[in-house]
Structure formats: structure tokens, C-alpha cells
Amino acid sequence: MAEVVLVTTSELQAGAKLDQFTIVKPIGHGAFSDVFLAEDPSGHQVVLKCPHESIMGDVSTFDRFRRELEISRHLQHPGIQRPIEFTADRSRPYMVMEYVEGETLRALLSREKKLSVDKAVDFGRQLAAAMAYAHSQGVVHRDLKPENVLVTPDGKLVVTDFGVAFMAGARRLTWRWFSTALGTPDYMSPEQIQGKRGDARTDVYAIGVMLYEMLAGRVPWEGDNALSVMSQHINAPVPPLHEIASEVPPPIDGIVRKCLRKAPDERYEDATSLRSDLEHWRDLPLSQFIFGDEQIVSPQRSDLQLILLIFGISAAFLSASIFLIVLAYLIGHAH
């Protein structure tokens, strides 16, 4: 039997070949995979999504990529990146996606810091429209963040990366919680932090965080580590947007706060309702955004166990790092 030679992501530089595709350049790096701009044999540009070499060849990696392709193919919307194909080679899975010209919303925010009210509202409306369609097809993204949103030169948004999405009726895969299983702390809803699957209101929450960031130039909750940020999502009230960005009209402030309610039942019931309010915000009565004191989400036993597990593993990594440093020092001085 011929030896299987895996092409690692570190080897995929400009000019390298991956099957029939020629790599043009790397364009993205995530916790689970790397993304490359490439050309097919006819010269058309495509995007290749390749898992990190540390998990390449793992059966679950193949299953995850296959499920992401199945979910993405189920979605036909101009605001969602379109998949093209998926390799059948279990030892070297990768996905081929349509190329969308532009940059990520993260790159745009890094350059402009914050957006005008009109631009932020338009972007929020586009995100809500794409997610409203996905939700109508039974798909919840669960990892919406600026890194997973592309902005075209004419200002159109395209949502990408359905790697941790959930589709009604789909087989649930076991994800490593310490990678992308829970999402990204800055944009995770309280129910995600509690380890729950989440529903359309989970994506509404993430859109609310992005709206806040686009308007204020920062996310609602910041911290020195993931634990601090996750704790604030559960326990801390939303920092008043109007105190950070006084130019934000009260109705927009109210829409963002409604998205960011701790309890899912107090948020927009779906992205369709959010989209409608963003389109007609000038006509909205402020009374609909008046709530009582914001309630925190009380940690459950499973949440405390999760926090302790995160702390324990972090401590283990730190101890291992110190041990390796000391060991290297002793070996070096022994010679």
C-alpha cells in the first residue's frame, strides 16, 4: 500500500499545489482551520478551507467538514458564502468555497475603529437578513463574529464559516470544547457559556454584540482572559451605549440592548423581527424597549464545573510550560 503523504497547512504557500488547485496566498487563520486563496485549473479563484495539521486525518475532522458542507449547501442566499465541493479523501479533508472579493468585518473595524450609525445599522440589517434566511432553513450559526463576516467593495456583507452551526435534524457531533465548540468568548451568549445548544436567539445576541462594537468601537465586555469575559456575559449589565457613543439614537440603543438581554425570551424571537426593527427604527416607540432591572443568569452546577475545568486545564498547561522551561535549563547546564 502506498504511503499517504499529507500536505500540511504550513506547506501551502504561494505556488504550492493541493490536488488540482494552485495556492495564491493565505488569507485567514482560525482555531480549527486555515483559509487560502487559490486557483482552479481554469484560472478561476476559489477559497480553500484546510484543517490544521494537528487534526488532519482525524475521522471527526472529516465528519465535521462534511457536515459543514451539507449545512452550507442547504443555504442559498446572497449574504451567505457558497460552498463548491469537498474532498472525499479522509486523510486530507478540505473544502472549496466561492471566492468573495473584499475583506473581513474585523479588518474593516481594525482600520476604522467604529462605523457611522447609518453604516452600522445597514450592516446589522444585512446580518439579520442572512440569519433570518438561515433560521428559516433550520440552521443556527452559533459563531457569528467580525472574523466570519466578509465585506465586499460595494458594502455587501457575506456570512461565512458554518463550522459549528447546528441544523435541525442533523446528527450532533462531539466537539472539543476547548477549540471552537462554544464559540468566541466576546460574542457568546449566556446560554452558550452554560453549554446549551442555543437557537435563533443565540445568533441575535451575537449580532447585538457586533452592532454594539460597530457603534462604540469596542465590544460590550472586555477582560484579561476568556473566563473574565464569559463571566461578564452572564453577570454584568450592558455598559450604556449612549455613554460611549452619544451620537447613537435612543431607538438604536434600545434595539442593541434588546439583542443583548441575558434571558433569550427577552430578546428578539428571531432575526426576522430584528431586521424589521433595524429597517424601521425611526418609527419605533421607545416604550417597547423599556425593561425592568436586568436579571443575571444564575450559574448552574454544570456551569461551575465548566469554569473549574477551564481553570484546571489552564493551570495544567502553565505547570507543564514551567516544567519544560526548567527541564531545558537543567539539560543545557548539564552539557
Tell me the catalytic residues: 143
Distance of CA 66 to the CA centre of its chain: 19
What Rg, from alpha-carbon coordinates, does the chain have?
Answer: 22
Angle at 78 between CA 75 and CA 81, to 5 degrees: 60
What one-character-per-residue DSSP string does 153-210 give?
A: TTS-EEE---TT-EETTSPPPP--IIIIIS--GGG--HHHHTT----HHHHHHHHHHH
Residue 142 grid cell: 452559533
Long-range contacts of the stretch 6-13 (C-beta < 8 A, 24+)? 6/53, 6/56, 6/57, 6/91, 6/92, 7/92, 8/53, 8/56, 9/33, 9/34, 9/50, 9/51, 9/52, 9/53, 10/53, 12/36, 12/48, 12/50
Q: State how far Cα 76 lies from the chain centre.
A: 20
Checking phi first, is residue 45 left (phi over 0); if not, alpha (psi -120 to 50) or beta? beta
Q: Decide: 59 and 90 in contact? Cβ < 8 Å.
A: yes
User: What are the phi and psi torsion angles at 52 (to 5°)?
Assistant: -60, 150
The backbone region for 64, taken as left when phi is positive above 0, alpha when psi lies in -120 to 50, beta otherwise, is: alpha
The residue type at 15: G
Please report which helix (H) or strand (E) contains residue 291, including its range: none
